[in-house]
Structure formats: structure tokens, C-alpha cells
Amino acid sequence: MATSTTDSRRRTAPRIVKAGMLILSVFALVAVVSFFRHSGIGELQIARKRVDALHADIARGQAETARLRAEIDSVKRSTFAVERIAREDLGMSKRGEIVYMLPKK
């Protein structure tokens, strides 16, 4: 009789291990799916893209600021730049010059 109980224990032990591994695998799968769905990884990726876009906007803004500062410095130093702006943007001329203004299309 002692051998039959040991045999039945030996048979059920692998079944219990297999069942435990199956339950553990299902639990791990559910945990991983739940983690990726609710952890905000998608939101994190979107936020990173937004941060990259904002950094690019900042870089463009800084480049534009540098260009405008250089233009301001040029206008402050040169009378040619002031004359150019007066002629092109304001339609002004020097004494004795004839200005031909064409209609804009």
C-alpha cells in the first residue's frame, strides 16, 4: 500500500507543477499587458515627441532672434541699410531722384 500512495504522489507532483507554471504564465501575461496598456508608455512616447518638437521650435526661434539682432546691428552701423529700408519699404527717395512705383500684383 505504501508504494501506491507514493506512485500517486509522484504522478500528481508534475501535474501540480505544470498547473502552477500555467497559472504563473497567465498571470505574467496579464501583468505585462496591463502594464503596457495602463502605464502610459504611449503617452510617454507622445510627450517625448512633443518635447523634441518644442526643442526644434526653440532652436528656430533662437536662430531667428540671432538673425534679427544682426540686422538691427547692421542698421545701427550703416547708413546704407537705413537708406535701403527707406527706399524699399517706405518708398522714399533722395532729393533729385525720380522713383518709379509699379503696382503690386
> Does 75 share its domain with 44?
yes
Which residues span the domain enclosing 3? 1-39
Number of domains in the chain: 2
Q: What is the pLDDT of residues 51-79, one digit of tens each?
A: 999 999 999 999 999 999 998 888 888 88
Is the entire prediction scored with pTM above 0.95? Answer: no
Residue 97 counted as domain residue = no
d(Cα 49, Cα 59) in Å, to the nearest integer? 15
> Does 30 share its domain with 52?
no
> Does 5 share its domain with 16?
yes
Residue 4: closest CA among 65, 12, 46: 12
What's the chain's Rg over C-alpha atoms? 39
Q: In the chain, pLDDT over 70 holds for what percent of residues? A: 84
> Does 33 share its domain with 44?
no
Residue 83: closest CA among 75, 72, 104: 75
Q: Please compute, for residue 51, the number of CA atoms within 13 A of its CA located in the half-sphere on the CB side.
A: 6
